[in-house]
C-alpha cells in the first residue's frame, strides 16, 4: 500500500545536517505515527514519503529550502526589552517561546542584546540548511481502506 496524502503512516526517521550531525532520530526509540498532510511534518519531508510502501527505507538529501524553507531576513526582528519579564536573564543563543498573532506558539533565538531591543531570529533552526532525511516505513493505512 503506497503512501498518499491522508495516509496514516508509522515510520522511523532521522534528520542529519550535511556534516553528519544528528538533529533528531526515532530509530533507537518508538516509531512515529502521523497523517501525511496534517502539518505535523514539514511539507518537503512529506513529499519525500509519497509513493513509499511498508518495508521501504530511503535516504534523501534535501537542499536548502526544500525541507524547512530558506532563511528569511524579515524573520529577524527587534523586540522591545519591555516585552520580556524584568527578571528574565536573556542570553545570546537562548531559545524563547513567543505567542504569534493567531495565539500559537513560535520559538525565537536571541541573536543580540541591546539596551532597548533584543534581536530575535524566528526562522526555523534548520531553515536554509541541507538536510539528510533517512526514513523507514513500517505501516501505511490509507483513508480509502478505512471507509466501508
Domain match, 40 and 80 both: no
**For position 144, what pLDDT does the model report?**
67
> With the CA atoms of 101, 120, 22 and 128 taken in that order, what torsion angle do they form, in degrees rounded to the nearest 10?
80
Residue 80, domain extent: 73-121
- Tell me the CATH number at 36: 3.10.50.40
Q: Is the Cβ–Cβ distance between 122 and 77 less than 8 Å?
A: yes
25/28 Cα distance (integer angstroms): 7
- Tell me the CATH number at 106: 2.40.10.330
pLDDT one-digit tens code per residue, 66-91: 888 899 999 999 999 999 998 999 99
Domain match, 23 and 64 both: yes
pTM: 0.73
Domain match, 28 and 59 both: yes
- CB-count exposure of residue 84 (10 Å: 0-12, 13-18, 19+): middle
Query: How many domains is the chain partitioned into structurally?
Result: 2
Amino acid at each position: 500500500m503506497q503512501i498518499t496524502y491522508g495516509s496514516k503512516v508509522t515510520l522511523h526517521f532521522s534528520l542529519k545536517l550535511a556534516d553528519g550531525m544528528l538533529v533528531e532520530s526515532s530509530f533507537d526509540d518508538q516509531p512515529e505515527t502521523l497523517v501525511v498532510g496534517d502539518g505535523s511534518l514539514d511539507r518537503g519531508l512529506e513529499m519525500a514519503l509519497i509513493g513509499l510502501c511498508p518495508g521501504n527505507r530511503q535516504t534523501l538529501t534535501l537542499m536548502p529550502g526544500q525541507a524547512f524553507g530558506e532563511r528569511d531576513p524579515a524573520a529577524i526582528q527587534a523586540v522591545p526589552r519591555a516585552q520580556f519579564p524584568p527578571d528574565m536573564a536573556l542570553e545570546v543563543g537562548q531559545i524563547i517561546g513567543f505567542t504569534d498573532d493567531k495565539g500559537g506558539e513560535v520559538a525565537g533565538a536571541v541573536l543580540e542584546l541591546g539596551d532597548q531591543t533584543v534581536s530575535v531570529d524566528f526562522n526555523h533552526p534548520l531553515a536554509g540548511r541541507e538536510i539528510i532525511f533517512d526514513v523507514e516505513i513500517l505501516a501505511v493505512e490509507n483513508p480509502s481502506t478505512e471507509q466501508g
